[in-house]
A = this chain, B = another copy of it.
């Protein structure tokens, strides 16, 4: 996703540091994330939360979970956080990190995150950019470092090649799943689409009739 930079983004983020945590503060927060939420309850983390429709939808649908959207693009995180703030104010169970997925183990202790979401991650189709894909082994290592034993990564994409690549990357890492854990056409699967919160990309690709691939893979 390539967004035109917004002149207001930087100031808005500085003024809303209670909602959007920057990398330095995220690093200092390690082991103490529950203190930023109203309720002590499981934390689910989306890596690459983009313009934030998914994480906001999830936070509204699941008050029993604390959500964190992490995004490396300043414009995207500012759009996401401002939109949610303007729509519903400061939600008790939603925060953002303006930071990098590779740094996730510097922000969280082992087991501090109960689940990781990856939605419509950049496919980085060129072979030489493999290490930037959010399902590359170095990222998997980071996710494993913050999840509990046998923790779960839930991954949605419209991109067949990224999905194929990711299955073998998961396998290479020893991750597991069963046929109940995936669908290769989410919106044609009545059971698995239950409770699905759509992202901006998902709606765009659905409108084109493209299938959405989804898997829950476990360490």
Contact = CB atoms under 8 A, between A and B. Distances in A.
B174 A179 contact: yes
B171 A167 contact: yes
Interface of A: 160-161, 163-165, 167-168, 171-172, 174, 176, 178-179, 182, 184
Given A164-B167, A168-B163, A184-B168, A179 B179 contact: no
Interchain residue pairs A-B with the least CB separation, the first 8: A164-B164, A167-B167, A164-B168, A174-B179, A172-B184, A164-B165, A167-B168, A171-B182
B176 A176 contact: no
A161 B172 CA distance: 14
Given A160-B168, A167-B167, A171-B184, 15 more contacts: A161-B164, A163-B168, A164-B164, A164-B165, A164-B167, A164-B168, A167-B168, A167-B171, A168-B184, A171-B179, A171-B182, A172-B184, A174-B179, A176-B178, A176-B179
